[in-house]
Structure 1
Amino acid sequence: MAEVEAIAQNLLELDEDELMAQLGTRSQAIEASPRAASIESLEEEVPVPRGAFDDLLRAGKNIFAPASAQAYKILCSPVGGDSELAAELDKLMNQKTADAAAKMTAAIAPVLVTSLGLPQSIAVMVGSLIVKKVAKGTSDFICENWKETLEGSATANTPESSPIAPVELPDTPEPSAS
């Protein structure tokens, strides 16, 4: 976990667009080499080619938007919400430190791996982006703030014609009423 926190601190130093482009770059690197899916691979920065920045930024957004929305459902919805983890994230959010942000990323990443099936490196990057976006607002409750960022990005990320296809994430099954 400490390794994830250290990597997350480095990722959190990037601005959102750089991190989003890194996410797009990482997804392409995973296609070329499955080794790029490991957390250890995040210790080596994958350069974002200048001419491809906009395409990689779009690719990163295509990965981030559905992953963030599905993670929100898992962590913050009344039906599937993990109230213990949401409470821990809330506590960390209130600390407003780089260390707390890294711990939030480290707490979110395993959920993204196990529940959404994301590769570890992508999960850490998506977790970092979630923390960056959620930490921007002034809401005291992380799920309320996260919901606001999802609503804002839904209107801002209208589909554009792009040569990069969106990444399909597995649907999370709704818990059955027993």
Structure 2
Amino acid sequence: MTTDATPSTPSPLDIEIGALTGGSAGLPQYAGKAVLIVNVASKCGLTPQYAGLERLQERYAAQGFTVLGVPCNQFLGQEPGTAEEIAEFCSATYGVSFPMTEKVDVNGEDRHALYERLVGFADAEGHTGDIRWNFEKFLIGRDGGVVARFSPQTEPESAELVAAVEAQLAG
């Protein structure tokens, strides 16, 4: 886990990104909250993590927390659907209530600016740079800075992730 101690670093929440259903996702509205940004996919072996992400949303939303799902089709084409198909799948299959952005690239030449701001932060193993797979997670603190990065295999309700969320909500 790495903490961004430089207050002059622009917040990822300052980035403009579209909402899955059209219009703006309005990231500045999450200023002062803890936000878990996750690149998601509907046809991945890790897709069942949606259930844990939704439980986190339900458990901590009232305390100033949100999950933000960012669909991405860069990993073996595992998010091929349209915005409508993604929204329907997430709602019908996992009861997802947390906000979702438009589908974007998280790696490569067309990497979205949101991920340009995120990929420089290291996870507990020291990994920085490109997103490795679907369901890589970034925790944004109430101050707008990235405070933690978790590998795709880290379950949403793992002790380390829950402790990081609770620390942001307590502080």
Q: Structure 2 length normalisation: TM-score?
A: 0.31
Higher relative strand content: 2
- Per the normalisation by structure 1, the TM-score is 0.30
Query: Greater Rg, structure 1 or structure 2?
Result: 1
The structure with the largest helix share of the pair is: 1
